[in-house]
Amino acid sequence: MKRLLPSPLLTLALLVIWLLLNQTVAPLHVLFGLLLGLIIPRLTLPLRPTQTRLRKPWVLFRLLSWSLLEILRSCFNVSRIILFRKQQDLNSQFIRVPLDLKDATGLAVLSCLINSTPGTVWVEILSDSHELSLHVFDLHDANWWIDTIKQRYERPLIEIFEQEQA
Amino acid sequence: MMQLPESLPLWLGIPVVFLLLAGSLVTLIGALGLLRLPHFYQRIHGPSITITFGTGCFLLASMLYFTGLEQRPIVHELLITAFVLLTAPVSAMLIMRAAVYRDLRNENKKATENLHQSLPKPKTD
């Protein structure tokens, strides 16, 4: 079973993508999508060096819904700043956030979420101190950002991807 | 010549129009930000609202419109959403890092001062 189906989530995702692309749930397409979902994960297995298991899907769901709200809120803020704020008053800064999350997939998700949120861009992880360097469009309080990222983003990701350490 | 479809009910047409307008407005604001903001590190934040909110509005409008037009659920715009959300952050990060390393290498004082010296100390607890 493990050999036949190395990553069931990927299989499911490929099937869904195939059905969405063809906009149908006809049995033939379901069958072909399943076939793709069975073959592609096996072929791409060497490309994925780390195997990750999603441990708490509902935590991920909560994280994603919260991020969506945060993205909408940030969109509003960034628009307001672009339209109405004087440019001299803008306090664009680099900040550093110490990270505890080590899992590569978790960090990838974190970077996607942070970069998707308008007003913050991920620069890099400083390898010596494992700190995240982040550029913030309009910084009020660096500690607020650090707390938010650690509480709201990093903690759920640790729960999802590194549960055995928690 | 734009022909308004007959089969699209009004109650669906209004949100579609509203979403398209909102998306266009946000795209315009993002472009304005790209144009007006003085520094590269600020300009990179302008289009990010276009990518998230603008694209989101357009895709939602597209889903509603074609669902109403063809009288069956059309949701394959979700794929575009997924791929945009997977790829746009990567390009933003690459552009950002390219700029940071350019400034570090050229010893662009104004930018790297910001990067290295005025970094606030992280809270230690």
Task: Note the pLDDT tens digit of each residue in B28-52.
Answer: 999 988 888 888 888 888 888 888 8
The residue among A73, A152, A111 whose CA lies nearest residue B94 is A111
Contacts of A107 in chain B (CB under 8 A): none
Do A70 and A39 lie in one domain? The reply is no
Determine which helix (DSSP H) or strand (DSSP E) holds A27, and give its type and residue range.
helix A27-43
Say yes or no: A36 and A64 in one domain. Answer: no
Average pLDDT over residues A72-82: 88
Q: Is the pLDDT of residue B90 over 70?
A: yes
Q: Does B86 touch chain A (CB under 8 A)?
A: yes
Tokens 């004087």: give the residue.
A86
DSSP state of A88: G
pLDDT above 70 (res B125): no
- pLDDT tens for A93-137 read 888 888 888 888 888 889 988 888 888 888 888 877 888 888 888
The residue ranking higher by pLDDT, B73 or A51, is B73
A151 CA: distance to closest CA in chain B (Å): 14
Binned at pLDDT 50, 70 and 90, residue B17 comes out as: very high
Q: Given CB atoms, is B38 within the 8 Å cutoff of chain A?
A: yes
Does A116 lie in the same domain as A77? yes
Q: Does A18 fall in a domain? A: yes
On whether residue A129 sits in a domain, the answer given is yes
| A80 part of a folded domain | yes
Domain for residue A130, yes or no?
yes
Q: Rounded to an integer, what distance in angstroms lies between the CA atom of residue B103 and that of residue B43?
A: 16
Chain B residue with minimal CA distance to A76? Answer: B49
- CB < 8 Å to A94, chain B: 114-115, 118-119
In a domain, A32, yes or no: yes
Q: Are residues A161 and A95 in the same domain?
A: yes
Residue A53 has pLDDT above 90, yes or no: no
Closest C-alpha to A162, from A110, A109, A106: A106
Does residue A13 lie within any of the structural domains?
yes
**Residues near B55 by beta carbon (within 8 Å), at least 6 away in sequence:** B23, B80, B81, B84
Parent domain of A35: 8-47
| Cα three-residue angle A56-A60-A65, rounded to 5 degrees | 150
Among B36, B75, B96, beta carbon nearest to A135: B96
Q: Are strands A131-136 and A120-126 parallel, antiparallel or unpaired?
A: antiparallel
Of A116, A107, A108, which is closest to residue A72 (Cα–Cα)?
Answer: A116
Is residue A82 within 8 Å of A129, Cβ to Cβ? no
Residues across chain A:
166
My answer on whether A39 and A104 are in the same domain is no
Q: Which residues of chain A neighbour B90 with C-beta distances below 8 Å?
A: 112, 115
Which residue from B minimizes the CA distance to A144?
Answer: B123
- Extract the runs of DSSP E, i.e. beta strands, from B25-124: none
Reported confidence tier of residue B18, pLDDT bands at 50, 70, 90: very high
pLDDT tens digits for range A58-72: 888 999 999 999 999
Instruction: Based on the fold, state whether residues A39 and A70 are members of the same structural domain.
Output: no
Considering the domain architecture, whether residues A17 and A68 belong to the same structural domain is answered as no
Q: Are residues A127 and A146 in the same domain?
A: yes
Is A74 a member of any domain? yes
CA distance A18 to chain B (A): 10
Which among A124, A148, A144, A147 has a CA at the least distance from the CA of A134?
A124
- The number of distinct structural domains making up chain A is 2
Rounded distance between C-alpha atoms, residue B46 and residue A121, angstroms? 11
- A143 and B52: CB-CB below 8 Å? no
Q: What percent of chain A has a predicted confidence (pLDDT) above 90? A: 4
The answer to whether position A38 is within a domain reads yes
- Model confidence at B20, in pLDDT bands (50, 70, 90)? very high
For A130-134, B82-86, B92-96, B115-119, which range has the lowest pLDDT when averaged over its residues? B115-119
Q: Inspect the interface and report whether the beta carbons of B45 and A97 lie closer than 8 Å.
A: no
Let me know whether A88 and A129 are in one domain: yes
Q: Look at residue B8 in the predicted model and tell me its pLDDT.
A: 77
Q: What does pLDDT average to over chain A?
A: 84
